[in-house]
Chain A
Amino acid sequence: MSSTHAPHPSRETGEKQDAGLDLPRATGSRTPPQPPTRSRTLRHPFGGRSNDPTARSQAVAAWILAVPFMAVFLVFTAGPVLASLGMSFTDIRSTDVRNPLSVQFVGLENYTRLLGDELFRKVALNTLLYLLLGVPLTLGVAMAVAVGLNRVTRFKGFFRVGFYLPVVTSIVAVSVVWKYLLRENGGLLNSALELVGLPGQAWLDSTHLALPSLVVMAVWRNFGTMTVIFLAALQSVPTEVLEAAESDGASAWSRFRHVTVPMLRPTILFGAVITGIGYLQFFEEAFVMTSGGPLDSTRSISFYTYDQFGFGNYGLAAAASYLLFLAIVLLTMLQFRLLRSKD
């Protein structure tokens, strides 16, 4: 029995460990190490510690080559990011646009004001709900569909396109259709419920149901991406490992649970991070479907920030964006801690 034992899965995943967020790739092939001397000069292109004239001219060349990118990066990326961070410590408003330097530095006041704002606390809680409901559901559905599709042999392309289609359709068009589906009077969902004798619900007009309804729609709209990624990852799981486990008597579920899932760990981490960021920035669905209502029950942090920018409270809106940014960083760190491969 033990003579056909396959190599332990964790060794395979161990190989991928430092790939981090990289998509899963064929196992084994590592890039050969660079010759040590070259790699040292490459590692210190700007160092200039060496007196070697070649190294120095290389450093000069490196700077010259880097300047165009650096300039674009500083002006169009780093500049605005730092400016918005600076803005979050001032009381800048839309009426200050003609004279932006005349604003007052207010320290952390915008941040304390946000934390004290009842509406901000509500939208923060809503955003947390979007995250907690949305991520597991999206990943779960995507995984289930990917596992199913992995076994389908005919019409594979058709199904893949079908599941991916919602991702590329316009949110506005989709929302019109979903609004009809979820309509209280004569909506498809309520009509179907009536057929089986269940009472219809005011899906988008109830403070309890509106947020979950939007999550369901978001899951439908987003799981296609993760399905495609999971499918690619599933196809890289070596069949001999699964066959070995099967001949050891492992059931389908335990093969999935103890062989496939551990091998997909980096992909699941990637999916959790990407979808987590998506749900923390939840906006479009609520914007077009419910306008944040009823009674602010579907308003998210992004929606709140959008409103504040619209009201011209640039300082406060910038502060809200940075709080969201902080939440994303913390969530990502947490996910890395929980989901990284164990040795």
Chain B
Amino acid sequence: MKTNRTMKTGTKTLAALAIAGLALSACGRDATSAGGEAQSDAIDDSPASGTIEVWAMGAEGEALDEFTQAFEEENPDAEVEVTAIPWDSAHDKIQGAITSGEGPDVTLVGSTWMGEFGAAGGLMPTPEDLVDGDDFFPGAWEGNQVGGTQYGIPWYVETRVLYYRTDLAQQAGWDAAPQDWDELTQFATDLQSKAGAEYGINLQPGQTGSWQTFLPFAWSDGAELANADGTEWSIASDPMKESLQYYSDFFAEGLAQTRVMDAGELESGFTDGRYGSFISGPWHAALIEDAGTDPSEYAVAPIPGPDGPGASFIGGGNLAVLTDAENPDGAWKLVQWLSEPETQKDFYETVGDLPANSTAWDSGALADDEQLAVFGDQLDRAVSPPAVPTWEQVADIIDARVERTAKGVQDVDEAVDEMQSQASSVGTGL
């Protein structure tokens, strides 16, 4: 009796599934995929009007409401409504807005999400001639292109540079920062042998986000992760193998440690002189100064490439207008205003975000500060990873192999070939 009943429900479920399956297979994926979309029509120069809803995360979200009062004064008929949302839930919220069509007009989008949201059809292509792309840092501008179409505008940027202890460097006989790969290895060796650092340099030994430290070396050496239209991965290459070998040698020779550190360990270790140098973004200046490093005891320098200053990773935030925006005209005008050099400079002074518009760096505090000049210089050579929907997954594949080579459990050629084969089986999603 009992088995009979379970069988009946089993058959029913199967039948229901089969029907659902048929229904789904009948729909099918059509050939048109995202990308290759035309840019939107140009907008006029009349003042913006109506309500413009904006979502922004973090410090930007908190500061933006007050900041956009200047825009409202210039455009009396427009009203900007800013909703601050936390970074943790931002991805899901924006995705929900894209799915349901109920969302803001403008949203801040993390730079590595562009591929996914753009390919999902949730973002509106940037109107023709909204801004001049040449005004922006090239890496940031390219990071907004999904399958050849520009979505949104880069708003603020960050990049990775080399932080080092100037006092320890001097003890080790270095008056200037290392310029190329050979010098960087020598620099780390000297910091260790002559200046008493436990590790000459700290490099991420794998795990989430280590690609942000490793890929600058690969890009410096000429590696290209994907083809131009973002349809195929091209990870396996000689520059990739050469740079991964160079990177993993730091661990093999004991110049960098293979252990993942706890929060705060790097900052205090740098202050104590345990780590002579490390690679990170602009936020680390405040963190190491809080940990007790005197501003006169450290400096930043561009990441060395094989034969001179090299490339870096460019990250940051982009402003995008959603496909289902109720006020696209007002939305683009706000985006245009936020990307103007003067506004970008003001926003830097308000929040501290580095402007994506490189012309904003020509004068004022951004031009005068020595430390910022290094970031500005590095940003000119900073690269963004391919803006494709599967990037996060491929980044994870790269992270896992970086860890294996750093810990010496996998050989470099095999690791790079595996990155390629795994990434190819995932595809780019375009």
Contacts and interface: CB of A to CB of B under 8 A. Distances in A.
A binds B: yes
Interface of A: 82, 85-86, 89-91, 93-99, 101-105, 119, 179, 183-184, 202, 205, 291, 293-296, 307, 310-313
Contact of B27 (A82, A101, A179, A296): A101
A104 B260 contact: no
Interface of B: 16-17, 20-22, 24-25, 27-30, 34, 95, 98-99, 116, 119-122, 206-208, 259-260, 262, 389-390, 392-393, 396, 400, 403-404, 407, 409, 429
Contacts of A295: 206, 403-404, 407, 409
A98 B25 CA distance: 18
Contacts of A179: 262
Contacts, number: 88
Given A98-B98, A179-B262, A294-B403, A89 B21 contact: yes
Given A102-B28, A291-B207, A202 B259 contact: yes
Most buried by B among A85, A94, A101, A205: A94
Given A179-B262, A184-B259, A310-B392, A103 B403 contact: no
B389 A293 contact: no
B207 A311 contact: no
A116 to B, nearest CB: 10
Given A85-B17, A86-B21, A90-B24, A97 B208 contact: no
B260 A293 contact: yes
A104 B409 CA distance: 39
Given A97-B120, A294-B260, A104 B28 contact: yes
Closest 7 CB pairs of A and B: A105-B25, A311-B393, A95-B120, A97-B99, A101-B27, A105-B24, A95-B119
Nearest to B28: A104
Interface centre among A95, A99, A311 (most CB of B within 10 A): A95
Contact of A93 (B28, B400, B429): B429
Task: Name the residue among B24, B122, B404, B429 with the largest chain A CB count within 10 angstroms.
Answer: B24
B420 to A, nearest CB: 15
Contacts of A294: 260, 403, 407
A98 B259 contact: no
Nearest to A179: B262
B280 to A, nearest CB: 18
Nearest to A96: B120
B207 A104 contact: no
B418 to A, nearest CB: 10
A97 B396 contact: no
Nearest to B392: A311
Contact of A95 (B262, B389, B407): B389
A293 B392 contact: no
B404 A98 contact: no
A91 B27 CA distance: 13
Contacts of B28: 102, 104
Contacts of A82: 16, 20
Contacts of A99: 121
B206 A293 contact: yes
A312 B389 contact: yes
A105 B24 CA distance: 6
A64 to B, nearest CB: 24
B24 A296 contact: no
Nearest to A91: B29
A93 B389 contact: yes
B207 A293 contact: yes
Nearest to B407: A295
Contacts of A311: 390, 392-393, 396
B219 to A, nearest CB: 23
Contact of A98 (B27, B122, B207, B409): B122
A310 B98 CA distance: 16
Contacts of B259: 184, 202, 205
Contacts of B30: 102
A96 B30 CA distance: 12
B24 A86 contact: yes
Nearest to B32: A102
A96 B95 CA distance: 11
Contacts of A93: 389, 429
A104 B396 contact: no
A52 to B, nearest CB: 25
A104 B29 contact: yes
13 contacts: A82-B20, A85-B17, A90-B24, A93-B429, A98-B98, A98-B122, A102-B28, A105-B25, A291-B260, A295-B206, A295-B409, A311-B393, A311-B396
B13 to A, nearest CB: 8
Contacts of B22: 105
B24 A94 contact: no
Contacts of B429: 93, 95
Contacts of B99: 97-98
Contacts of B207: 291, 293
Contacts of A183: 262
Contacts of A103: 24, 27, 29
Given A90-B24, A293-B260, A95 B393 contact: no
Contacts of A105: 21-22, 24-25
Contacts of B208: 291
Given A95-B120, A97-B120, A296-B400, A102 B95 contact: no
Nearest to A292: B207
A307 B396 contact: yes
Contacts of A310: 392
A291 B21 CA distance: 36
A291 B400 CA distance: 12
Contacts of A89: 17, 21, 24
Nearest to B404: A295
Contacts of A313: 393
A85 B208 CA distance: 30
B222 to A, nearest CB: 28
